[in-house]
Structure 1
Amino acid sequence: MFRIEAGIDRRRRDLLRSRLRESNTAASPVLAALRTSPAGREDPLHVWALDEDSALAGGLVGHTWASWLHVACLWVDARHRGAGLGSRLLARAERTARDKRDCVAARLETWDFQAPDFYRRHGYEVLCALPDYPPGVTEYTLVKRLR
């Protein structure tokens, strides 16, 4: 007999993640090899653009893992858009991932009203389009080879 509960429980969440990671590692030779390799570490990668007053003008937040860069967020303040700042932030993250962390590829998600064309111009290819996520919007997953 089981009791099913719903509710936020960070301790159980962490335990579940740990057990899933153990199960995945046991089932996959690739994940098992990554566990003992420097590439298997998930390392944050943040790039910031500050204006002349040291205020945040833009930034990129992501991480590297398994020889991949995952860009989670890229934002440029409206006052600084159109000046190439987003391109510079993305290029710096890709260069760091490739040259200092031996990444071979990058991935990211964006919505149709955000920046899919921006990423395409920077060499990213659409791998997946998920329509109506959320309703009326398409989410894209894009990838780019760094080597």
Structure 2
Amino acid sequence: MSQFVFDDSNTFAQAVKDKIAEFNWQHWEVSERLPLGLKLQSETGELLAGFSGRTFGNWLMIDNLWVSESLRGQQIGHKLLAEAESIALSRGCKCAMLDTLDFQAKPFYEARGYDVKWTQLAYPETGCKYFMVKALSSSYLGV
């Protein structure tokens, strides 16, 4: 057997991710992962707010939701999230999931129906990360 070779490149990380995805497709029902991105731009094209995530089977997986300082408190984040949830529902999603750090947006998501299901303590050292879910369909209680 050869020696392990150090490789911290994005190309290598993506190759490993692709190999895991290839394996996973052989062992569960196939469900297409679809990206979901929404943005608000100024008239000059400056990014003012954005949402990125993906839908996968029953789940909306939220990666990022950001609103510029100048627009915070104006319901922009709420509207972005509501639009993403609406799109996810139209794609057949029943639940949403995300993680947020202790200094980020936990109260924002709680006010919109998300519940903490698990807390990762001492992350990365003295903080914590919250893993949150929400049922998007009132008939779905699997979260």
Match of 1:66 in 2: 57
Match of 1:95 in 2: 86
Q: Deviation of residue 112 (structure 1)?
A: 0.9
Q: How does 1:28-47 map to 2 (within 5 A)?
A: 28=27, 31=28, 33-34=29-30, 40-47=31-38
Please report the TM-score for the alignment, with normalisation by the length of structure 2: 0.85
Q: Alignment length, in residue pairs?
A: 137
- The structure-2 alpha-carbon separation of the partners of 1:20 and 1:53, relative to structure 1 and needing over 3 Å to count, comes to closer
Q: Which shifted more, 42-51 or 123-132?
A: 42-51
Match of 2:106 in 1: 116
Q: Is the 8 A contact 2:60 2:95 kept in 1?
A: yes
Listed one character per residue, the Cα deviations across residues 28-77 of structure 1 (whole Å, up to 9, x for unaligned) are 3xx2x21xxxxx22111111123455432211111111221111111111
Report the 3-state secondary structure (helix = DSSP H, G, I; strand = E; otherwise coil) of the residue aligned with 1:79.
Answer: helix
Q: Deviation of residue 20 (structure 1)?
A: 2.3
Q: CA RMSD in A?
A: 1.9
Distance across 2 between alignment mates of 1:15 and 1:60: 26
Match of 1:55 in 2: 46
Q: Deviation of residue 91 (structure 1)?
A: 0.3
Q: Of the candidates 72, 78, 88, which is equivalent to residue 69 of structure 2?
A: 78
Distance across 1 between alignment mates of 2:93 and 2:64: 18
Q: Deviation of residue 16 (structure 1)?
A: 3.1
Q: Is the 8 A contact 2:48 2:67 kept in 1?
A: yes
Asked whether 1:128 is paired with 2:118, we answer: yes
Q: Is the 8 A contact 2:100 2:130 kept in 1?
A: yes
Gaps of 5+ in 1: 35-39
Distance across 2 between alignment mates of 1:12 and 1:48: 30
When you count helix as a share of all residues, which structure comes out higher? 1
Asked whether 1:140 is paired with 2:127, we answer: no
Q: Deviation of residue 119 (structure 1)?
A: 0.2
Listed one character per residue, the Cα deviations across residues 89-109 of structure 1 (whole Å, up to 9, x for unaligned) are 00000001102x111111111
Distance across 1 between alignment mates of 2:66 and 2:18: 32
